[in-house]
């Protein structure tokens, strides 16, 4: 079995560090299972969240939605993106006119193969991120923004990412591209918190299902931890029954 994991909201709190108890358990899980990572964040931010030991234990790490691929410290792939000036102007207009009052800087961030856009900004602390998340759930600002961008810029694809931002990529360069590295008969299980339509885990979740794999839509890292412990328990039962 091959396990593919999102990071924010799946292995860690949004933009937070991995829980120490879960981190220790997950490291042991990696020793016995084929694990892969796919996230919208770049490598430095991901290592900051999960630690270098966990990061390097993944067979492959797909950062920036698979537009940057790492095996340990060796970079295997990097895709660049440059949004048209009209699209950047649109994002700036939205930023200037959003009713959410707080701004913390770095609202448009270019990464390998994607651009991350956040109204509250990448400098927000956990309380500020939570405040925007509550605001966004109430009025659906990001969902409306995604619909607008996808309608008026069809050559690109925008999706809700994490608690506070959206990811913009070249159409087709989403997380589902990581399945190109797997064989048709490979068994795949994916864990993600944004698997619903409009989220940046949606395309890979659909691709995994079409591949014949299984998708766990989780609500937070605690949910992921509980599911993984359940999987390990069932594996133990199956092993014991095979000895009878």
pLDDT tens-digit readout, 71-127? 999 999 999 898 999 999 999 999 999 999 999 989 999 998 999 999 999 999 999
**Measured CA distances, 46 to 6, 18, 37, 49, 235 (Å):** 10, 10, 10, 5, 29
pLDDT at 48: 96
pLDDT at 6: 98
Cα 88 from Cα 117, distance rounded (Å): 10
Q: To the nearest 10°, the Cα dihedral for 221, 224, 226, 227?
A: 170
Is pLDDT above 50 for 25?
yes
Q: What is the chain's mean pLDDT, rounded?
A: 93
Percent of the chain residues past pLDDT 90, beyond the cut:
87
pLDDT at 241: 44
Range 180-209 average pLDDT: 95
Is pLDDT above 50 for 242?
no
Range 149-167 average pLDDT: 93
Q: How confident is the model at residue 238 (pLDDT cuts 50, 70, 90)?
A: low
pLDDT at 226: 97
Is pLDDT above 90 for 142?
yes
Q: How confident is the model at residue 138 (pLDDT cuts 50, 70, 90)?
A: very high
pLDDT at 134: 96
Q: What is the pTM of this model?
A: 0.81
Cα 232 from Cα 244, distance rounded (Å): 19
Cα 195 from Cα 216, distance rounded (Å): 9
pLDDT at 237: 58
Range 51-60 average pLDDT: 98
Range 17-46 average pLDDT: 96
pLDDT at 240: 44
Cα 132 from Cα 93, distance rounded (Å): 18
Cα 190 from Cα 201, distance rounded (Å): 9
CB atoms within 10 A of CB 1: 13
pLDDT at 44: 95
């Amino acid at each position: 079995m091959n396990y593919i994991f999102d990071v924010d909201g799946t292995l860690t709190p949004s933009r937070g560090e991995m829980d120490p108890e879960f981190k220790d358990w997950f490291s042991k899980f990696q020793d016995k299972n084929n694990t892969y990572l796919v996230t919208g964040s770049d490598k430095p931010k991901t290592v900051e969240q999960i630690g270098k030991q966990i990061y390097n234990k993944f067979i492959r790490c797909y950062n920036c939605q698979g537009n940057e691929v790492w095996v340990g410290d060796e970079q295997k792939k990097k895709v660049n993106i440059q949004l048209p000036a009209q699209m950047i102007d649109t994002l700036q207009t939205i930023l200037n006119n959003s009713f959410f009052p707080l701004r913390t800087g770095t609202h448009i961030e270019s990464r390998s193969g994607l651009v991350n856009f956040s109204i509250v900004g990448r400098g927000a602390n956990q309380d500020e991120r939570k405040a925007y998340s509550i605001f966004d759930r109430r009025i659906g600002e990001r969902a409306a923004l995604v619909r607008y961008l996808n309608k008026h810029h069809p050559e690109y694809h925008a999706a809700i990412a994490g608690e506070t931002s959206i990811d913009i990529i070249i159409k087709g360069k989403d997380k589902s591209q990581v399945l190109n590295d797997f064989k048709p008969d490979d068994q795949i299980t994916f864990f993600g918190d944004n698997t619903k339509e409009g989220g940046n885990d949606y395309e890979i979740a659909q691709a995994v299902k079409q591949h014949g794999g299984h998708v766990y839509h989780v609500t937070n890292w605690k949910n992921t931890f509980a599911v993984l412990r359940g999987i390990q328990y069932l594996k133990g039962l199956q092993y014991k029954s095979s000895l009878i």
